[in-house]
Amino acid sequence: MRSEAASPILAFHEELASDIRTGLAGPGQKMIPSRYLYDDLGSALFDAISFLPEYGLTRADERILRTHARDIVGRLPGPITVAELGSGSGRKTRWILEAIARRGSTTYYPIDISRAALTRCALELGQLPSVRVEPIERDYLRGLSEVAARRGKSDRLLLLFLGSTIGNFEPAQARDFIREVGERLKPGDGFLLGTDLLKPVPTLLAAYDDPLGVTAAFNLNLLMHLNRDLDADFDPGSFAHEARWSAAERRIEMHLVVRRAHTVTIRGLDMRIRFEERETIWTESSYKVEREDTARLAKHGGFDCLSQWVDREWPFAESLLLRR
Ligand SMILES: C[S@@+](CC[C@H](N)C(=O)[O-])C[C@H]1O[C@@H](n2cnc3c(N)ncnc32)[C@H](O)[C@@H]1O
């Protein structure tokens, strides 16, 4: 088990070191968890991805939130406190906060490991009348535990997990995660969960490998993050971005493919890693689901699915779950 570091920054660094040792040192498939894609530049590149014509996901999510925010919020009577897991810049969350603020003042806790994203989020949403923004720079569950300790006793919590970030979890991890989220909520709390639905494979592949190369830069920037934080000497030119569709697993995988055999030194971990030509570092999975899958997943956290909204243009669902 990992020891708790004294500060969130130290804890983050310890986890990065441990994840890189585990993910790159072993004999099998090399892997780096997708959370390390989001340093300052990575967060800015993710925002840029959300404007790409090929990446319809964010716009679909925003259409649903813009059109149905009042209906979503209307299902939860009484005063509401809002928290959001992996808020990023929080651009889409405005619609939900505005709908809640019509009923009364509220506090919004964006939770993210990216300080740059939280700064943008506080700028974007801190201007809304009747909304107090209190950013929490933590990983999902530590951040949610903090919200559980701080929340107003008589308020309901509406927890947001938008944009299909749940799709980055392996299915077993997603079930454990929903259970852990459920344990931190109270009966009557709401959980708005975004999921990206199955769609034609060429559409999916284009969304994760755009012709401008923005997604490629987002993926390759992970290596720059390791160079900076772990004093490594990755050469991004020695790797190529690749998006793959796994039909069996119903997921897009992002990989960094080694262009030619070479060795990388990670001085911060006292490691040298040999990369063979064509082997890959697997950096992200994005699972695609059917709309019925969410109600099944919700049961693992003690949630019932109250309602679902689906975008017609880009199959994407927002599901409002209620903690039993
Ligand atoms: C795919 S982006 C989604 C951003 C935004 N919610 C949206 O829908 O556009 C994922 C966000 O989650 C954050 N994130 C990734 N792993 C995290 C973790 N373990 N704990 C907290 N935040 C995390 C990233 O920094 C990033 O802002």
In short, whether 280's Cβ falls inside 6 Å of ligand 1 is no
Predicted pLDDT of residue 12: 82
In short, whether 208's Cβ falls inside 6 Å of ligand 1 is no
Mutate-to-test residue for ligand 1 from 16, 19, 36, 38, highest number of ligand atoms within 8 A of CB: 38
Helices (DSSP H) in the chain: which residue ranges? 8-25, 40-49, 57-74, 94-101, 115-125, 140-150, 171-184, 201-207, 214-230, 293-299
Cα of 262 from ligand 1 centre, angstroms: 32
Confidence of residue 1 (pLDDT cuts 50, 70, 90): very low
Q: Which two tokens stand for residue 118?
A: 């939280």
Of residues 246 and 3, the one with the higher pLDDT is: 246
Cα of 139 from ligand 1 centre, angstroms: 9
Cα of 40 from ligand 1 centre, angstroms: 12
Q: Which of 236, 234, 162 is nearest to 193 (CA)?
A: 162
In short, whether 42's Cβ falls inside 6 Å of ligand 1 is no
Q: Phi and psi for 300 in degrees, rounded to 5?
A: -65, -20
In short, whether 88's Cβ falls inside 6 Å of ligand 1 is yes
Predicted pLDDT of residue 297: 98
Q: Which of 94, 179, 111, 194 is nearest to 151 (CA)?
A: 111
Summarised one tens digit per residue, pLDDT across range 159-181 is 999 999 999 999 999 999 999 99
Amino acid sitting at position 102: R
- Report which protein residue has its CA nearest ligand 1's atom 11: 86
- Report which protein residue has its CA nearest ligand 1's atom 12: 86
Half-sphere exposure of 280 (CA within 13 A, CB side): 14
Atom of ligand 1 nearest to the CA of 91: 9
Mutate-to-test residue for ligand 1 from 34, 43, 45, 114, highest number of ligand atoms within 8 A of CB: 114
Q: Which two tokens stand for residue 293?
A: 């899958």
Predicted pLDDT of residue 3: 45
Q: Bridge partners of 136?
A: 111
Summarised one tens digit per residue, pLDDT across range 217-273 is 999 999 999 999 999 999 999 999 999 999 999 999 999 999 999 999 999 999 999
Cα of 112 from ligand 1 centre, angstroms: 6
Cα of 153 from ligand 1 centre, angstroms: 27
| Dist. CA 113–CA 141, nearest whole Å | 11
Cα of 221 from ligand 1 centre, angstroms: 16
Amino acid sitting at position 109: Y
Summarised one tens digit per residue, pLDDT across range 103-146 is 999 999 999 999 999 999 999 999 999 999 999 999 999 999 99
Cα of 263 from ligand 1 centre, angstroms: 31
In short, whether 112's Cβ falls inside 6 Å of ligand 1 is yes
CB 293 within 8 A of CB 272: no
Helix, strand, coil in percent for the chain, rounding step 5: 45, 25, 30
In short, whether 57's Cβ falls inside 6 Å of ligand 1 is no
Atom of ligand 1 nearest to the CA of 38: 25
Q: Bridge partners of 271?
A: 266
Cα of 301 from ligand 1 centre, angstroms: 20
Which structural domains are found in the chain, ordered by start? 8-39+216-287 (no CATH), 57-199+290-323 (3.40.50.150)
Q: Phi and psi for 52 in degrees, rounded to 5?
A: -70, 140
Q: Which of 98, 157, 124 is nearest to 43 (CA)?
A: 124
Arithmetic mean of pLDDT over the chain: 96
Strand order across the 251-258 sheet: 30-31, 280-287, 251-258, 239-246
Q: What is the CA radius of gyration of the chain?
A: 20
CB 221 within 8 A of CB 41: yes
Q: pTM score, two decimals?
A: 0.96
